Amino acid sequence: MVDRHTDRKTNRSNRGREVNRRSFLSACTVGAVGVSTSSAHDDQNEQVVAPPAPGTVRAIDFSRSYLYCAPKGSGIWVRSQIECRCMVRDHVTGRSSEYILSVVAKTGLNRDPQTDARSPGYDYWIIFSDQHVYTRRTHTSSYFNNPTTLPVDEFGMAKWRLQQAPAVRLRAAGAVRRALEAWRPIVARSMFSSTDGSRSVAVDYPVKWADFHVESDGFRVETGPIVLLDPDKVHVDRPPKFADFQWSHVDYRSFDRVRCLLDRPTPILTGADFTPPAEHGREQRESKALTAEQVARIQARLEDWPETPIGVEAMRKLLRTDHYSEVVELPAATELYALDAPNHGEPRCSRSTSNRPVEPS
């Protein structure tokens, strides 16, 4: 993503852009992101429109909401779309804190200046907050799991903008079906409350996958990724550690419960003996499923060398990766919103700060 930026004024070479990408990734390991309520750049992009139609509210339009930053030493200005917003609220003090998840990016596009060998690739996501930037890196194995949590003032300019659009709340399954059939973008908010009701974690996200039953009004949302924080453990005035974030997709059929498909380190041979159901030719896959005995023998061979190069537990960790390996069903209050049709005008841009969240009415 970032490596494709072209400096038209100076006509930098591909090698120069690779240096910029390395600088950007280095900045992700030594800095963090802050949020400002305004800037000259923001003011230039403010859009004024007519009020929304009667009966509508305003909801986040994720297709036009962005993180943006200019990390120190990188020489580039970066824009990334947003996967979700996670808002922690303390209902006793009225205070809140905000965490914004970027879309996935990939590295491995650079060469080692000494050997000219390509770096091994990995996926990475960044979470912006007003105090820290959290970077998750997903490698082939979890042995090389190396997330970072860093303070804000070493990174450089980094902000986000949440665009809003007129929307209608979908309060019943039939309304969800009609919105899907009308090709309207749908966004969601799922709110998870602490046991004592003093805190909540609300996650706003776009609905990328949804379906309905053709013979009834039943619906399902299955979408993600999102990040979750435990409302019983997180505190507004205590920044979370990286390990406090739970990475998940969501799956639900009602407005009051959410199935969370959580990432967990998973052995890479998990499911190697699985045969798909006989549906649409799924069973005719290229790699034949292993037997349980074959899987056990492979695992034993990898772990029981006469002279193991590293410890057995370290070996097991080396052969894991992040997977959707745990399903947790949680009570949650979910609201769905269908964004309004384009003929209601262009939505006005709203700027987000940790003290002034942008929300549906």
Give the amino acid at 129: S
Query: What residues does each domain of the chain span?
Result: 2-265+328-351, 269-318
Question: Is residue 116's pLDDT more than 60?
Answer: yes
Question: Is residue 150's pLDDT more than 90?
Answer: no
Question: Is residue 190's pLDDT more than 70?
Answer: yes
Distance CA(283)–CA(289), nearest Å, equals: 9
- The pLDDT assigned to 152 comes to 66
Q: Indicate whether this model's pTM tops 0.95.
A: no
Question: Is residue 48's pLDDT more than 50?
Answer: no
Between 213 and 108, name the one with better pLDDT.
213
Question: Is residue 358's pLDDT more than 90?
Answer: no
Q: Supply the mean pLDDT for the chain.
A: 80
Other C-beta atoms within 10 Å of 262: how many?
A: 16
Q: What average pLDDT does the segment 260-266 reach?
A: 94
Q: What average pLDDT does the segment 158-165 reach?
A: 92
- The confidence band for 38, taking pLDDT boundaries of 50, 70 and 90, is very low
Question: Is residue 66's pLDDT more than 50?
Answer: yes
Q: What average pLDDT does the segment 218-226 reach?
A: 96
Distance CA(361)–CA(348), nearest Å, equals: 15
- The pLDDT assigned to 277 comes to 74
Q: Give the SS3 label for residue 172.
A: coil
Which residues on neighbouring strands pair with residue 324, listed in sequence order? Answer: 263
- The confidence band for 20, taking pLDDT boundaries of 50, 70 and 90, is low
- The pLDDT assigned to 313 comes to 83
Between 303 and 268, name the one with better pLDDT.
268
Angstrom distances, CA of residue 57 to CA of 48, 333, 351:
16, 18, 17
- How confident is the model over 230-244, as pLDDT tens digits? 999 999 999 999 999
Question: Is residue 179's pLDDT more than 80?
Answer: yes
